[in-house]
Chain A
Amino acid sequence: MTPNEIIRSVLSFLVLIIFQVLILRQVVLFDTAFCFLYIAAILFLPYEIDSVWLLVICFATGLLIDSFYNTFGVHAAATVLVGYVRPFVLRAQFAQKNVDSRLELTLSQLGFVPFLAYTGSLVLLHHAALFFIETNNIGLFLPTVLKTVASALFTLVAIFLMQLFSKR
């Protein structure tokens, strides 16, 4: 990675967190669909990042988000889970391809379907973990599933929009 790329990814990371905390925190559709766009900051960290550092970054990000949502550790737990699973998903999906060049985790580089599979699976995992830990009540299974799916759709739309409008 060139210094330029490092600065760019650090900046976009921070912008996403600030955007989440200041604006998306207030955006709730129909009381069910939440937008947790900050997970994109984790998903689009460079491919070759060390897995232990990834976990630490996830934990810190989750705690930061938690401190704004007043949900002690819930976001941190879900985000750390995503950080742990991310390398496996990446290896399973993109191990054979792109051996010759560096893998860039963007919509334009990956193509629509692989990108959707990658982001969709991890966003769904994150939201499911998040809402089930938060609810902590199996009696509310169906409402929680609805919330998970609706929020995952919302977040995915936001991620796609973000990718379409980012120059790269």
Chain B
Amino acid sequence: MLQLFQFISRSRSFIVFVLLEAFCFVFIVNNSNYWGATYFSTASVLSAKVLETSSAVTQYTNLRQTNEVLAQENRRLNETLVQIRQATPADAPASYKADSAFAKRFRYVAVAKVIQTTTHSPNNYITIDKGLADGVREGMGVLAPTGVVGKVKFANQHQSLIVSVLHSQFKISAKLTRSGEIGFVQWEGRDATAVLLNDVSRYKKVARGDTAVASELNSVFPAGAMIGRVRSVKVNPDQTFYDIVLALSTDFAKLSYVYVVDNKLKTAQETLEQRVDAK
């Protein structure tokens, strides 16, 4: 008996070693047991908390990439949404079938980053970091996630200049979604958060808070692109049109990512319309 205890005492480190290793291998072999999964995996309270904190810190380093990936995803989704909307307009009669080339005419060409923007001058321009090399061409429309931004004026190889909505020469046909009235939007040149909606007859009903979107009478922007909300409706006694002020949905001072939209049938439409003038 004494010899046994002496043996255990002498080789106790070996015995502990064998025991611990046996324990480890039991652990390894049935590695999916509940006990192990609960206390010794990343699902355990300690590990989960530590990893959560660490990923909350490292997340910031990936934000730029995440942003870019999301912007690309949105570009794809927007393109699909516009195609579906164009193929089956909500207010069309049942017998209307959109031509497939017509329904697919809007293409979201690129996601671009705004690298320069102004809002204070009477004619504002925006510079983006995509150009001819990325498929951007002059005359294409530019949309932000929050709504209409402008139209491409010049493009070089890697940058483009955009005429913003906040420009005295920029006009866009807009439709009020609730009343269905169509007018054109123009900037009056002072307030960078508001534009005027002209040409809406004073004999129609226009409510405050109504949403203005790009209308179907529009070759640059897909119909339904957000413009703003009606902020105030006034009428002068001697005029036949309302003075409608729209609060812009897009904050032009804070633009970051924009989408460049191409209408593939735009030149075809323009040549068709010019034939009237040629005669």
Inter-chain CA distance A97–B12, complex, in Å, is 27
Contact, CB under 8 Å: B44 / A80: no
29 A-B pairs (CB sep. < 8 Å):
A22-B50, A52-B16, A55-B17, A56-B16, A56-B20, A58-B20, A59-B23, A59-B24, A62-B24, A63-B40, A67-B39, A67-B46, A68-B42, A72-B27, A72-B28, A72-B31, A72-B36, A72-B41, A73-B23, A73-B25, A73-B26, A73-B27, A74-B24, A80-B17, A83-B17, A84-B13, A84-B17, A87-B13, A133-B28
**Interface: A124 (CB within 8 A):** no
**Which residues in A have their C-beta under 8 angstroms from that of B21?**
77, 80-81
> Which of chain B's residues has its CB closest to A23's CB?
B54
- Whether B24 lies near A73 (C-beta < 8 A) is yes
Q: How far is the CA of A79 from the CA of B14 in the complex (A)?
A: 15
Q: Looking at chain B, what size class is its interface with the partner chain? A: 20 to 34
Determine whether the beta carbon of B40 is less than 8 Å from that of A72.
yes
A35 on the B face (CB < 8 A):
no
Report how far A133 CA is from B44 CA in the complex, Å: 23
Closest to B36 in A: A72
Instruction: For the complex, give the distance between the alpha carbons of A72 and B47 in Å.
Output: 14
Instruction: Decide yes or no: A73 and B13 within 8 Å by CB, A63-B40, A68-B42, A68-B47 being known contacts.
Output: no
A41-74 interface mask toward B, CB cutoff 8 Å, 1 = contact, 0 = none?
0000000000110011011001100111010111
Which residues from B are CB-within-8-Å of A133?
A: 28
For A84, the closest partner residue in chain B by CB is: B17
Number of A-B contacts (CB under 8 A): 68
- Whether B28 pairs with A77 at a CB distance below 8 angstroms is yes
Q: Is there contact, CB below 8 Å, between A67 and B42?
A: yes
CB distance from A164 to the nearest CB of B (A): 27
Q: Contact between A55 and B40 (Cβ–Cβ < 8 Å)?
A: no
Query: What bracket does the count of chain A residues touching chain B fall in?
Result: 20 to 34
Helix, strand, loop or mixed for chain B's interface? helix
Q: What distance in Å separates the Cβ of A98 from its nearest Cβ neighbour in chain B?
A: 22
B residues with a Cβ closer than 8 A to A are 12-14, 16-17, 20-21, 23-28, 31, 36, 39-42, 44, 46-47, 50-51, 54
**What 6 pairs across the A-B complex have the smallest Cβ distances?**
A73-B27, A77-B24, A72-B31, A51-B13, A73-B24, A84-B17
Q: Are A52 and B25 in contact (CB under 8 A)?
A: no
Interface residues of A (CB under 8 A from B): 21-22, 51-52, 55-56, 58-59, 62-63, 66-68, 70, 72-74, 76-77, 80-81, 83-84, 87, 133
A70–B32 Cα gap in the complex (Å)? 11
Given A67-B39, A73-B31, 17 further pairs, Cβ under 8 A: A21-B50, A55-B13, A55-B16, A55-B17, A59-B20, A63-B40, A67-B41, A67-B42, A68-B42, A72-B31, A72-B40, A72-B41, A73-B23, A74-B28, A76-B24, A77-B28, A84-B14
Does B50 contact A66, Cβ atoms closer than 8 Å?
no
Query: Which residues of the partner chain A approach B23 to less than 8 Å between Cβ atoms?
Result: 59, 73, 76
- The residue among B13, B14, B36 with the most chain A CB atoms within 10 A of its own CB is B13
In contact, B20 and A55 (Cβ under 8 angstroms): yes
| Contact partners of B14 in chain A: CB under 8 A | 84
- Taking the closest CB of chain A, its distance from the CB of B200, in whole angstroms, is 59
Q: How far is the CB of B93 from chain A (nearest CB, A)?
A: 59
Q: Which A residues touch B44, using CB under 8 A?
A: 67
A74–B31 Cα distance when bound, in Å, is 10
**Complex CA distance for A153 and B16, rounded to whole angstroms:** 30
| Contact assessment for B40 and A67 in the assembled complex, using a CB-CB cutoff below 8 Å | yes
- Shortest Cβ distance from residue A56 to the other chain B in the assembled complex, whole angstroms: 7
Q: How far is the CA of A52 from the CA of B19 in the complex (A)?
A: 11
